[in-house]
């Protein structure tokens, strides 16, 4: 049995009681970063073996993990923040478990783009989640395609690239397109900056940027 456990994206209290119960019951916890997961486990007094599972080693360890799961072990996968598989490692292991008829269960819980989308004030009935867009190769091609997208669009971005990405959106979507940039969701300094792409870009260019970023952009009318 493999459990996918959403972990808090900011406030450590944002974890379900069921997630805590399962983390106490499994034989092994797979962690994207064992140091980050250790803080969460320590807070809830969970003592279980931890092993790294991330994008740099998943292809090397997946066979060994499948062998253990087939032998009857229960495992939980924790990523640094949010739900495993959403711009985080999980897909490969889940796919291989399904091939081998190993049961997989994903718990409901924290995912950064949901509160950002709901907080944005931009229509939520239809949306396209794009995650992190390419830094170089394929970036222009994708932005040209998204310029015609009529659904609300949701992106993840690093603070270092936020202003550049907003300026690229201005170039391809137009400076008056409405957006909302959410950062530090569920943390003490949470901020949701709403306005046109031009206004929001100018705001962060002057202020500077820190924290985890979600960008919500209005679709083409």
Strands of 6-115, DSSP E: 28-31, 50-52, 75-78, 104-106
Tokens representing 91 are: 């897909």
Is the pLDDT assigned to residue 139 strictly greater than 90? Answer: yes
Is the pLDDT assigned to residue 208 strictly greater than 90? Answer: no
SS3 (DSSP) at 34 = helix
The CATH architecture assigned to 113-217 reads: 2-Layer Sandwich (3.30)
Tokens representing 127 are: 């949306």
Per-residue pLDDT tens over the stretch 159-184: 999 999 999 999 999 999 999 999 99
Per-residue pLDDT tens over the stretch 51-105: 999 999 999 999 999 999 999 999 999 999 999 999 999 999 999 999 999 999 9
* pLDDT at 50 (0 to 100): 96
Per-residue pLDDT tens over the stretch 29-55: 999 999 999 999 999 999 999 999 999
Span 201-219, average pLDDT: 94
Query: pTM for the complete prediction?
Result: 0.92
Q: Which fold has domain 2-106?
A: Cobalt-precorrin-4 Transmethylase; domain 1 (3.40.1010)
Give the C-alpha separation, 219 to 68, whole Å: 46
Give the C-alpha separation, 15 to 22, whole Å: 12
* pLDDT at 14 (0 to 100): 95
Handedness of CA 35, 31, 130, 8 (dihedral sign): negative
For 215, half-sphere exposure in the C-beta direction (CA atoms, 13 angstrom radius) is 29
Binning pLDDT at 50, 70 and 90, where does residue 129 land? Answer: very high
Residues comprising the chain, all counted: 221
Span 119-148, average pLDDT: 96
- Burial of residue 112, with CB atoms counted within 10 A of its CB: 0-12 exposed, 13-18 middle, 19 or more buried: buried
Ranges of each domain in the chain? 2-106, 113-217
Span 147-155, average pLDDT: 98
* pLDDT at 62 (0 to 100): 97
* pLDDT at 118 (0 to 100): 97
Give the C-alpha separation, 122 to 13, whole Å: 28
């Amino acid at each position: 049995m493999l459990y996918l456990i959403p972990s808090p994206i900011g406030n450590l209290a944002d974890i379900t009681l069921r997630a805590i119960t399962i983390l106490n019951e499994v034989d092994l916890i797979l962690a994207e970063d064992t140091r980050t997961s250790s803080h969460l486990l320590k807070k809830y007094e969970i003592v279980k073996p931890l092993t790294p599972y991330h994008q740099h080693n998943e292809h090397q360890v997946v066979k060994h993990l499948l062998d253990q799961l087939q032998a009857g072990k229960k495992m939980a996968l924790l990523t640094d923040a949010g739900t495993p598989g959403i711009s985080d490692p999980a897909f490969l292991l889940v796919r291989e478990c399904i091939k081998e008829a190993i049961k997989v269960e994903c718990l409901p819980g924290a995912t950064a783009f949901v509160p950002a989308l709901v907080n944005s004030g931009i229509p939520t009935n239809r949306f396209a989640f794009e995650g992190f867009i390419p830094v170089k190769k394929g970036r222009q091609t994708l932005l040209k395609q998204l310029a015609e997208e009529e659904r609300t669009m949701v992106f993840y971005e690093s603070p270092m690239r936020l202003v550049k990405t907003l300026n690229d959106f201005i170039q391809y979507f137009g400076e008056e397109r409405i957006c909302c940039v959410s950062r530090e969701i569920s943390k003490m300094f949470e901020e949701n900056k709403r306005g046109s792409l031009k206004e929001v870009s100018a705001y962060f260019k002057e202020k500077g940027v820190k924290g985890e970023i979600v960008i919500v952009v209005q679709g083409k009318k």
